[in-house]
């Protein structure tokens, strides 16, 4: 049986609205998928649902389908997306209204059961605003088997919207773990959209045209292997590098657990088959764990912030004065008050902006009145009574609610998984009968080290790429190199201790390192660097998107033989 061609048109809620049409018009597809959900998205949708119980889904998806449903039906492309969020039934109802209004005959199905909020307490999950189990692909398979043209789900794993169409196309069984794992790897690569085609890529300057990168496509084969590509004529690039970067995104070690299969990412082998064509092979699978992960979002309180511009001389003294004044002028101190001073200033600068530093104050409290007008008013009242050159980037607001993400785990058998077919029939989807507790992969042996040789102190990114992201309060940083000799150096040099030296913000945190030799990569999980997760805004880079680039910018001694040929001779050792 020939490969199935699955394109993706969304990596998050807010991604390029025109992408669904671009993918349908750009070339041949069998399925078009979209990932609209993230940890923060579930909180946003939860707040939407509080205001209006009929909401809780990705409204942009509804507009996209209204624009392109007729085109998809004409081309025989089926659409699968997790845009249902907290209300897949509501989205399915809205889609049927669009279908009728357009005079079309699309068959609409949805998958539900992931929403556990009404049972959270009895399941030991507390009292969150949202509680959604990560379901797998088999509800999608059931809906496609009933000839659905559009399938929308709630919180399935990001890769499941790709795995479902592949499993349906090839008739895979529940214990075809190698094939399922291969599809998970392909899904993990394309579910973040243009990150697979050059977006957010460390070596972006090597891509000839990154103006408007095309969205990715996975051509999945019956054995689970796949080729990652994109429509001809679109910008960006699909290379071993761009695929490596995305495989490393938001994982831990060699085992990548899901509700249907545990994927051995450490077995993946990448091969450049041609321009914009990368083969993923060698991926194997194991039985999934007996528990499902649950995404929990809780409204934790309210936050506000003020950012002071501090210019010229005596930066530290000016910042200290601002801190002292603001804290002493507040009639009630917030539960949390955190200062950070970003020394973006340069001595003897020829522009005012580059002569300035940014002093940021973030406040949090359970009482919105404490962090609202009283805090904002004090920050403004300091304007004529504080350090010379006082100004704010913008007037502080009245404050906003913030949330906290935490993962939970429940027995798979306690989670309903229901496919609601186009005719309204409800089909219960049982969890896997074969399960295996998740265990860490034995650490692979390091390759033989390079012999001692002369080195230069240069940025790590001179030879290494990186991709970083968030998982709750933790950050993941994957680092890879492109030659075997560079891998020998990286495997021995970039240890946990070296990472903490290069990233002092991680020095007092628990950091775990994983080796992925086939990808010439190491992956680090930095626990707690993001506080209580992206919604809590504990860090100026709350989703850890820039940590990998910060790491690449840090200087480290690299053997001269590993460096690109340049005229640089300084710092030779």
Tens of pLDDT, residues 41-77: 888 898 888 889 889 999 999 999 999 999 999 999 9
d(CA 256, CA 484): 25
Q: What pLDDT does 534 receive?
A: 65
Q: What pLDDT does 568 receive?
A: 46
Q: What values do phi and psi take at 523, rounded to 5? A: -125, 135
**Inter-residue contact 294 to 116 (CB < 8 Å):** yes
Asked if pLDDT for residue 17 goes beyond 50, the answer is: yes
Coil, strand or helix at 22: helix
Please tell me the least confidently modeled range out of 108-122, 192-206, 297-311, 537-551: 537-551
Q: What angle do CA 5, 223, 174 make, to 5 degrees?
A: 95
**Inter-residue contact 213 to 222 (CB < 8 Å):** no
pLDDT digit string, tens, across residues 94-105: 999 999 999 999
d(CA 275, CA 535): 39
For residue 344, what pLDDT band results from cuts at 50, 70 and 90? very high
Check the CA dihedral 96-98-101-105 and report its sign. Answer: negative
If you ran DSSP here, which 8-state letter would residue 449 be given?
Answer: P
HSE-up (13 A, CA, CB side) for residue 254 = 20
d(CA 13, CA 349): 40
Q: What is the dihedral of CA 140, 145, 146, 150, to 10 degrees?
A: 50
In SS3 terms, 459-493 reads as EHHHCCEEEEEEECCEEEEEEECCCHHHHHHHHHH
- Percent of residues, the chain, with pLDDT higher than 90: 88
Q: What values do phi and psi take at 403, rounded to 5? A: -120, 170
For residue 82, what pLDDT band results from cuts at 50, 70 and 90? very high
Please tell me the least confidently modeled range out of 45-49, 121-125, 245-249, 561-565: 45-49
d(CA 282, CA 240): 15
Token code pair at residue 277: 């064509």
**Inter-residue contact 405 to 39 (CB < 8 Å):** yes
Pairing, β 555-559 against β 455-459: antiparallel
> What CATH number is given for 296-404 in this structure?
3.30.70.380
d(CA 240, CA 245): 9
Q: Which residues of 329-362 are buried (b: 16+ CB within 10 A; e: fewer)?
A: ebeeebeebeeebeeebeeeeeeeeebbbbbebb
Q: What pLDDT does 536 receive?
A: 65
Q: What pLDDT does 404 receive?
A: 86
Using the structure block, give the residue that is written with the tokens 């200062």: 339
Asked if pLDDT for residue 525 goes beyond 70, the answer is: yes
Residue 517: how many other CB atoms lie within 10 Å: 15
If you ran DSSP here, which 8-state letter would residue 59 be given?
Answer: H
pLDDT digit string, tens, across residues 226-258: 999 999 999 999 999 999 999 999 899 999 999
**Inter-residue contact 139 to 429 (CB < 8 Å):** yes
d(CA 401, CA 379): 20
Token code pair at residue 303: 């936050």
For residue 405, what pLDDT band results from cuts at 50, 70 and 90? confident
d(CA 362, CA 336): 8
Average pLDDT in the chain? 95
Token code pair at residue 368: 């919105």
Asked if pLDDT for residue 1 goes beyond 70, the answer is: no
Residues ≥6 apart with Cβ < 8 Å to 324: none
Asked if pLDDT for residue 168 goes beyond 60, the answer is: yes
Asked if pLDDT for residue 23 goes beyond 60, the answer is: yes
HSE-up (13 A, CA, CB side) for residue 92 = 26
Domain range summary for the chain, segments of one domain joined by +: 4-295+407-428, 296-404, 455-562
């Amino acid at each position: 049986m020939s490969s199935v061609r699955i394109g993706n048109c969304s990596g998050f809620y807010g991604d390029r609205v025109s992408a669904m049409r671009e993918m349908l018009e750009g070339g041949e597809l069998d399925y078009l998928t979209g990932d609209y959900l993230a940890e923060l998205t579930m909180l946003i949708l939860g707040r939407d649902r509080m205001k209006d119980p009929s909401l809780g889904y990705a409204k942009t998806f509804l507009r996209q389908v209204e624009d392109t449903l007729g085109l998809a039906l004409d081309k025989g492309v089926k659409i699968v997306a997790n845009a249902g969020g907290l209300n897949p039934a509501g989205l399915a109802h809205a889609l049927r209204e669009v279908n009728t209004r357009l005079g079309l005959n699309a068959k609409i199905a949805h998958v539900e059961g992931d929403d556990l909020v009404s049972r959270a307490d009895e399941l030991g999950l507390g009292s969150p605003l949202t509680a959604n189990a990560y379901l797998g692909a088999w509800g999608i398979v059931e809906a496609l088997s009933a000839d659905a043209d559009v399938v929308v789900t709630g919180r399935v794993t990001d890769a499941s919207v790709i795995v479902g169409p592949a499993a349906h196309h090839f008739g895979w069984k529940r214990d075809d773990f190698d094939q399922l794992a291969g599809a998970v790897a392909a899904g993990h690569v394309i579910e973040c959209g243009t990150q697979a085609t050059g977006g957010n890529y460390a070596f972006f300057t090597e891509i000839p045209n990154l103006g408007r990168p095309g969205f990715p496509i996975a051509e999945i084969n019956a054995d689970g292997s796949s080729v990652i590509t994109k429509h001809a004529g679109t910008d960006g690039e699909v290379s071993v590098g761009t695929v490596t970067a995305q495989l490393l995104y938001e994982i831990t070690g060699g085992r990548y657990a899901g509700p249907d299969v545990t994927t051995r990412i450490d077995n993946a082998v990448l091969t450049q088959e041609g321009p914009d064509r990368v083969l993923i092979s060698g991926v194997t699978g194991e039985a999934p764990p007996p528990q499902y992960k649950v995404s929990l979002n809780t409204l934790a309180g309210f936050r506000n912030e003020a950012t002071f511009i501090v210019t010229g001389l005596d930066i530290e003294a000016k910042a200290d004065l601002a801190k002292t004044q603001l804290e002493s002028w507040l009639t009630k101190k917030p539960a949390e008050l955190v200062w950070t001073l970003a020394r973006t200033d340069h001595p003897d600068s020829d522009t005012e902006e580059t002569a300035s530093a940014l002093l940021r104050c973030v406040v949090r409290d359970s009482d919105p009145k404490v962090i609202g007008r009283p805090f904002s008013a004090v920050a403004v009242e300091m304007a004529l009574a504080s350090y010379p050159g006082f100004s704010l980037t913008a007037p502080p607001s009245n404050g906003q609610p913030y949330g906290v993400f935490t993962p939970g785990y429940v027995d798979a058998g306690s989670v309903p998984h229901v496919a609601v077919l186009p005719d309204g029939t409800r089909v219960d989807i049982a969890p896997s009968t074969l399960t295996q507790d998740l265990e860490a992969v034995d650490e692979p042996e390091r390759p033989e080290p390079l012999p001692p040789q002369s080195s230069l102190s240069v940025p790590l990114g001179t030879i290494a790429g990186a991709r970083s992201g968030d998982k709750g309060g933790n950050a993941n940083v994957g680092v890879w190199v492109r030659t075997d000799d560079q891998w020998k150096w990286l495997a021995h040099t970039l240890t946990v201790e070296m990472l903490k030296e290069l990233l002092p913000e991680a020095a007092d945190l628990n950091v775990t390192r994983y080796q992925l030799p086939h990808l010439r990569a190491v992956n680090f999980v930095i626990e707690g660097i993001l506080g209580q997760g992206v919604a809590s805004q504990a860090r100026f880079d709350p989703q850890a998107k820039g940590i990998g680039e910060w790491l690449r910018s840090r200087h480290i001694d690299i053997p001269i033989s590993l460096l690109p040929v340049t005229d640089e001779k300084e710092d030779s050792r």
